[in-house]
Amino acid sequence: MSVNRCMRLFNRLQRQINTRSPRITAGSCHVSFGSGLLHKQHQAGSVVCSRNVSSNKPPPKTPDTSLFIPVSLKMDSSIDWAVGEELTQPLDKSELLKVLNRFYKKKEMQKLASDHGLDARLFHQAFISFRKYVLEMASLPADLHIILSDICCGAGHIDDIYPYFIRHAKQIFPMLDCMDDLRKISDLRLPANWYPEARAIQRKVIFHAGPTNSGKTYQAIQRYLAAKSGVYCGPLKLLAHEIFEKSNDAGVPCDLVTGEERTLVDPEGRAAGHVACTIEMCSVTTPYEVAVIDEIQMIKDPSRGWAWTRALLGLCAEEIHVCGEPAAIDFIRELMYTTGEEMEVHTYQRLTPFSILDRAVESLDNLRPGDCIVCFSKNDIYSISRQIEAKGLECAVIYGSLPPGTKLSQAKKFNDPDDPCKILVATDAIGMGLNLSIKRIIFNTLVKPNVNEKGEKQMETISTSQALQIAGRAGRFSSKFKEGEVTTMHRDDLPVLKEILSQLVEPVQTAGLHPTAEQIEMFAYHLPDSTLSNLVDIFVSLCQVDGLYFVCNIDDFKFLADMIQHIPLNLRTRYVFCTAPINKKQPFVCTSFLKLSPNCPLTCLDLQTPLLMTSYHPNPHLNLCSYRFMDMFPDTACIRQIQQELDDIIQQGVRNITRLIRATDPTITDPLQTQSGRGQRSQRGSGERMDSSLANRLVRDGLLTPDLLRQLQREWSKDQKQELTNKSAVSTDCHNTDNKGKRMKKK
């Protein structure tokens, strides 16, 4: 190789190094320019938020560098890696290691690296990768090889390594080179601008404020039914079902959309003008005349608050009717300032009074018809139900994970004046508008498990808002009880309950947000090698919100993202699947979720076999995803038929709760023993209990029903009699044969 060629090659490499200087440094902040532009657009609408959410220019948020996962480098085979050795000489690895370690120990290098976004953690990780790269590569790029050779020979300074180190660091941590772009994408300070369709119309916002049983939702629904088109957004599937039935019964065709099902009333499949849906499923692009958003105070919920924020800011409706607690009025009005919309407030008073009793119930012997015992766990529900049934009383059971049809069936059973069931055992699921004929609310405990903003589960005393929501179910206007009563099961809890209910409800101060699919896709453009879970983590780490908002907990989203990371799906599809309402504590549901594959549709047969061996409710993500990916779910109708059949089975099981409970409680006399008579027990012996028998264990585990057991007993008795008859016949034949032989011998 000629000297001129070597010089030209070296100059070209040097120019390449200079042109690869960092485009955007972590120390500079262009977020203020982007948000300032949005603020100018916002001012063009002549609306200014009372909280100065965008005029200030706060410093850029320091990212959580523990979320930065280094990517593996791909070597460029087009570069002639042998040029460095041709220009100089092979490098001494031992001498090279000493040079690199001296570079790492220089404080000046660490300080310079911090200006490019490399804190101590990233500096260490980048150096380890750089050292491994230098020592293990068979041939280094010519420019780096020459610099290292000069330093080893004493002809260069150790600081000359820094540009190459930074170049390597930005290759394994690509987010360092686009940090300002990522900060702009994750700027959540003006979420009202995310919904241009809603901003294009002048919406009228009406807040219906009042306590429970005040008729606020009723007034909003009346306007909803009178409109040409409308959408009802509720917090529970049960409430969406109730509005769906009420609307169709009133002659207003209404569709139903929840996370588990979609019901179109039109036989030809055309969408109706009205739709009742759960809040997460509402459309922010479909125009409506009237929209109803129920339980607006849940906009502050750490996990689901983003859905209320999205509905309030994004629904394209001429009238937005918001229903909720008076504690949310000021905040919602302030939130409407950011959209340039005024809010009209209608206040309501409770239609029937309720009082706090001076005595606790203390014993289940003191229960009365119309009582509702509120528990905060299914274990407590089962325990209380067993004790009530042991006393010869029938009770209805309602808790959150029951299918909507079963909840409605139990509610009707409890409300029916001709049904002997007059006691209800329920969780706080009854606190969201379910119409029940309750005379007295009894709190079994005042401590409830909650998930905080960090996603951590903790036990906390219920808030005043929660207590009022539950207590307000006593003495509803439409029930036969015109006055309600509230008390506790235990004496020590009663003064605590009185103190809770005497306090004012804390005003709503913030609304939840969640990164949208579009924002995550823009993140992925800059970080193409990152997983969805890692993208969301970095987004939350960098995002900026003003005093009106907070970012909701995303642990469940990340759990599903990690679960399906190995499945080849595009990012938007992956995002949709991760929003499915999957219960991560149910192994069968998670296993079914993992069957997803673009080349392997999930069929009815894939579910039928495991469903026959389990007692799980049908996987809700099937219906949610089958709406969007029909080719992956070809047996949607079949699956929904299975779901309906399982709903019927669950309802039958809950209706027969007495048998189920007695079969699982050893302290309760087994009905089979009573019906079979005491003769069988005397045959087994007085010291042996029926509870330890195999038959009772099968009944207790749900593998055998009492009816089947009785049938088996009858068949077994019949077979036993037949066997005895056969044995008797054989014995007679043998006896006759033996006598015949003896007679022949005598002859």
For domain 80-172, the question of CATH label 1.10.1740.140 is answered with: yes
The top-scoring range by mean pLDDT among 38-52, 306-320, 562-576, 704-718 is 306-320
Q: Would you state the pLDDT for residue 72?
A: 75
β pairing state of 484-488 and 440-443: parallel
Q: Would you state the pLDDT for residue 705?
A: 61
Q: Which CATH architecture has domain 203-347?
A: 3-Layer(aba) Sandwich (3.40)
Quick check: 305 pLDDT over 90?
yes
Counting DSSP H helices and E strands in the chain, the numbers are 31, 18
Q: How many CA atoms lie within 13 A of 538 on its CB side?
A: 30
For domain 354-502, the question of CATH label 3.40.50.300 is answered with: yes
Closest CA to 378 of 398, 349, 351: 398
DSSP three-state, residue 172: helix
Residue 460 pLDDT class (50, 70, 90 cuts)? confident
Quick check: 177 pLDDT over 80?
yes
Quick check: 554 pLDDT over 60?
yes
Of 246-260, 371-385, 438-452, 700-714, which range is least confident? Answer: 700-714
β pairing state of 511-513 and 316-324: unpaired
E-assigned strands of 221-340? 230-234, 254-257, 262-263, 274-278, 287-293, 316-324
pTM (2 d.p.): 0.69
468-489 pLDDT per residue, tens: 888 888 887 666 777 889 999 9
Q: Would you state the pLDDT for residue 75?
A: 57
CA separation for the pair 17, 166 (Å, rounded) = 11
Q: In degrees, to the nearest 5, what angle opens at C-alpha 523 toward C-alphas 517 and 527?
A: 135
Average pLDDT over residues 411-438: 84
Residue 662 pLDDT class (50, 70, 90 cuts)? very low
Residue 249 pLDDT class (50, 70, 90 cuts)? very high
Instruction: Give, in order, the Cα–Cα distances in Å from 373 to each of 76, 238, 408.
Output: 70, 20, 18
- Residue pair 481/370 in contact (Cβ under 8 Å)? The answer is yes
DSSP three-state, residue 605: helix
Q: Would you state the pLDDT for residue 698?
A: 58
Closest CA to 221 of 263, 249, 262, 259: 249
Q: How many CA atoms lie within 13 A of 725 on its CB side?
A: 6
DSSP H helical ranges for 399-531:
404-415, 464-471, 493-502, 517-526
Q: Would you state the pLDDT for residue 678?
A: 35
154-174 pLDDT per residue, tens: 888 888 899 999 999 988 888
The more confident residue out of 340 and 735 is 340
Who contacts 205 (Cβ-Cβ below 8 Å, separation ≥6)? 319, 320, 322, 332, 336, 341, 342, 343, 344
Of 207-221, 222-236, 582-596, which range is least confident? Answer: 582-596
| 513-659 shares the fold of 203-347 | no
Of 45-54, 261-270, 326-335, which range is least confident? Answer: 45-54
Closest CA to 495 of 430, 428, 443: 443
- Residue pair 364/391 in contact (Cβ under 8 Å)? The answer is yes
* Cβ count near 95 (within 10 Å): 13
Residue 420 pLDDT class (50, 70, 90 cuts)? confident
Burial of 334 from C-beta contacts in 10 A (0-12 / 13-18 / 19+): middle
- Residue pair 549/510 in contact (Cβ under 8 Å)? The answer is yes
First to last CA, the chain: 128
Q: How many CA atoms lie within 13 A of 547 on its CB side?
A: 12
Residue 675 pLDDT class (50, 70, 90 cuts)? very low
353-364 pLDDT per residue, tens: 888 999 999 899
Q: Would you state the pLDDT for residue 403?
A: 73
101-122 pLDDT per residue, tens: 999 998 888 888 888 888 888 9
Residue 449 pLDDT class (50, 70, 90 cuts)? confident
CA separation for the pair 561, 564 (Å, rounded) = 6
Taking the domains of the chain in order of start, what are their residue ranges? 80-172, 203-347, 354-502, 513-659
Q: Which CATH architecture has domain 513-659?
A: Up-down Bundle (1.20)
Q: Would you state the pLDDT for residue 668?
A: 42
Tell the residue number behind the tokens 């490399």, with chain if given. Answer: 118
Q: Would you state the pLDDT for residue 139?
A: 78
Q: Would you state the pLDDT for residue 339?
A: 92
519-544 pLDDT per residue, tens: 999 999 988 888 999 999 999 888 88
CA separation for the pair 643, 282 (Å, rounded) = 23
Tokens of 509: 């101060």
Closest CA to 518 of 181, 185, 33: 185
Closest CA to 671 of 704, 701, 707: 707
663 sits in which H/E element? helix 657-664
What torsion, rounded to 10 degrees, do the Cα atoms 640, 644, 646, 648 define?
180
Quick check: 280 pLDDT over 70?
yes
In percent, the amount of the chain with pLDDT more than 70 equals 66
Quick check: 11 pLDDT over 90?
no
DSSP H helical ranges for 503-627:
517-526, 532-542, 555-563, 571-578, 587-593, 604-613, 620-626
What torsion, rounded to 10 degrees, do the Cα atoms 173, 175, 179, 182 define?
-170
CA separation for the pair 114, 111 (Å, rounded) = 5
